Each structure stands twice: as structure tokens, then as C-alpha cells.
Amino acid sequence: MTNMISPHGSKTLKPLLVDDAEHNAALTQQAEDLPSILVSSAAASNAVMLGAGYFTPLRGYMDKADALSVADTMHTTSGLFWPTPVLNLVQAAPEVGPGQKIALRDPNVDGNPVLAIMTLGAVERFTEDEFSAMTQKVFGTTDPEHPGVADFTSQGRVVLSGAIQVLNLSYFPTDFPDTFRTAVEIRNEIEKMGWSKVVAFQTRNPMHRAHEELCRIAMERLEADGLVIHMLLGKLKPGDIPADVRDAAIRKMVDVYFPPNSAIISGYGFDMLYAGPREALLHAVFRQNMGATHLIVGRDHAGVGDYYGPFDAQTIFDEIPDDALEIKIFAADHTAWSTKLNKVTMMREAPDHTKEDFILLSGTAVREMLGQGKAPPPEFSRPEVAEILIAHYKDQP
């Protein structure tokens, strides 16, 4: 057995999915007779992350005190390091009280099946001031134009807390059967590979040459045994490339350009928060839970627009207590193809370069090229990857 990194705040993973088939069937049956609520997509994706073990050691949704404490100090009231509130926010309080069970229905699956059963701990309400302060701390802004803020503030001010039993993992296993993996499954796969030093790469986009080389650079410098490319499969903002297209592009790149058995391609069921530094910390927590020892944190990690400084998501790791996380980060700079060196390099490692020495394309420029059926230059994007993306844009109205 390889010597694997411990899960966060626990000796063992604590997935909340009820995986015994008989027990699950009995609970699913029982859930039909319980009072039920349709939860937000964010609360549903929190349930999926709890079910899959990524949010170990949490046992369910946070109460108001924990949420405010996490926003303020990045610790729960009991002292557990945690960077973002994990909430079930609703518009109006249900007619049930503490100690009662309620069925949580999935907003993202036809027919809204029951996703989880919650034992209600408390029904509380945030004041507008509390909610605004929490939003500011987590997202660094309360600007309604920020996609994460817009989604968070639309979910209601009533907070339902309590332990949950997760009955299924929503649409992720059926929509992404080859890619969606629980933290348990990834740990098992890492163990099977015999890896002990494992680099995780977070992505919500297809991977271009710079991303591919960044993974290689990190693996070489850390002398890692393997790489886990871990893509977000949940809800994104309009204009982002859909998960199935991204999945196909990444698989093709690994297939053609990575040595066999050096990379695991997988994904997780969570809605993007776009919370920059705080979300980078959350990414580290659940990568530690899935068995990675290092997380690549690049420029503007998990950011959006100009809300965060380019390296805020790296420096926040210097601001947390040393014992907060076991996982370490690989701090990366912007990477691009150097026409001087004829290879991809990190910009800060090429001090004799000017901007003109790099092949740099904005996301908009790349989308325009692909939309016109043109492949970006091979120094920017692998031709096999560009082909998949061109096909996607050709089908767009």
C-alpha cells in the first residue's frame, strides 16, 4: 500500500453517499413520504461533494454560526479549517422543525428526484448585513455583476443546517460515466497506480499547450509519480465551453501527448463559485481528500474578470496557518510559447523576453478563430484539440 496523504481533518474519508443498495432503496422509498423542498443548484452540488467524500470531514450543511465563522476566520466554530461556507439556502422556511427529516429534491434532474435526506438541525435567517459581510469575505466583492456573487445572493437568506444522507450523485454519473469520479474512487485509483506524490490540475476549460506543459513542468520539478487532471463538471457561466466538449478535448490531448499511465482524467460535480483565492483553498481541500499531494495554482486561479490580483490565489496559501492543510501548492506563472526558446515556458523564467517574444492569444481571439473554423497556431493549441473545438463552434447557432 502506498503511503497516501490523509484526508482533511480526518484519518479516513467520510463520503456521505449511502452506498449499501438495500439501505439506499429503503431510504429512497422512505423519502417519498417526507416533506420535501427543491434545493438550489449550489446546494445540490454541495450535496454531491459531500456524498462523494470531497468535503470530508463535514457531515452536512453548515449552520449560520459556522458559515459566518468560516467567512470571517476560515475556520468553523469547532476550529476546523474551511475556506467557504457550505450552505443550503432557501427563500422561505419550510414548515418543519429541528430534528425532523426532509427530502432534498434535485433541481438539475428531470422530475426533481430526491437527492438526499436531511435531518434538520436548525432553521435560521441571515440579516442583509450578515449576508453582505459574508459575501464580501468569501468573494472579495458584493458586485452583482460577479457571476459567483449573483448566484450566491439569489439563493435566499434562510439557512437550513444539518446532517445529510446522500442517495445519489445527481446527473454526473449518467452524463459523465467515464469522467465523473468520487474522492473514494480517485484515492483507490491512485493507490492502484502505486503513486505517492500526486499532482492535481484543476480546469474548467479545454487544455491548451501552455496548460499541458505546465502539468509537465510541475511533474518534473516535484518528481511526481502521476497527474490527476480534475475538471469541473457542474454549472459554469454563459459562454464557457460545455463539459462534454472539454472532456473530449482533454482526453485527446492526454491520449496523444502523455506517456501511458501517467495521468488520470477525472471530474467532479460542483458549480463554479468564481471566488478566486477562497476557491483556490477549497480546491486544495478537496484535492487533499482525493489523495493529491500537490495542486497546481496558476495565474488568476478560479478567478473571473478583474476582481482578483493575478497571484492572489497563491499568496492566500501563505496567509493560512501552517497546519491548515497537508497538501502543498505548485505556484505557477503565466505560461506561453516562447519564439526565442521554441518551447512553452513560464514568463517569469524568461526575464530577457518581451511580450512580443511569446505567442499570446486572448480567449476572445481563440473563440473567434475556432468559430471561423480556423485552428489556433500549433504553438498555442494542439491540432487534434483544435479540431474538436472547431466542431463544437460549428454547431453553435
The SS3 assignment for 132 reads helix
Nearest in space to 275 (alpha carbons), one of 136, 116, 368: 136
Give the sign of the dihedral formed by CA 212, CA 215, CA 221, CA 225. Answer: negative
The angle that helices 276-289 and 312-319 make with each other, rounded to 10 degrees, is: 70
The SS3 assignment for 17 reads strand
Q: How far apart are CA 187 and CA 290, in angstroms?
A: 5
Q: How far apart are CA 126 and CA 323, in angstroms?
A: 31
- Pure H helices in 223-320: 243-257, 276-289, 312-319
27 grid coordinates? 431510504
Q: How far apart are CA 374 and CA 157, in angstroms?
A: 47
Q: How far apart are CA 195 and CA 193, in angstroms?
A: 5
Q: How far apart are CA 247 and CA 182, in angstroms?
A: 17
Spell out where the chain has E strands: 36-38, 60-61, 89-90, 101-105, 114-125, 158-166, 198-203, 226-232, 263-268, 294-297, 328-331, 335-338, 343-346, 358-359
> What DSSP state is assigned to residue 356?
G
The SS3 assignment for 255 reads helix
Give residue 6's identity as a one-letter amino acid code: S
Q: How far apart are CA 347 and CA 336, in angstroms?
A: 7
Taking phi over 0 as left and psi of -120 to 50 as alpha, with beta for the rest, 300 belongs to left
Give residue 370's identity as a one-letter amino acid code: L
Which residues belong to the active site? 204-205
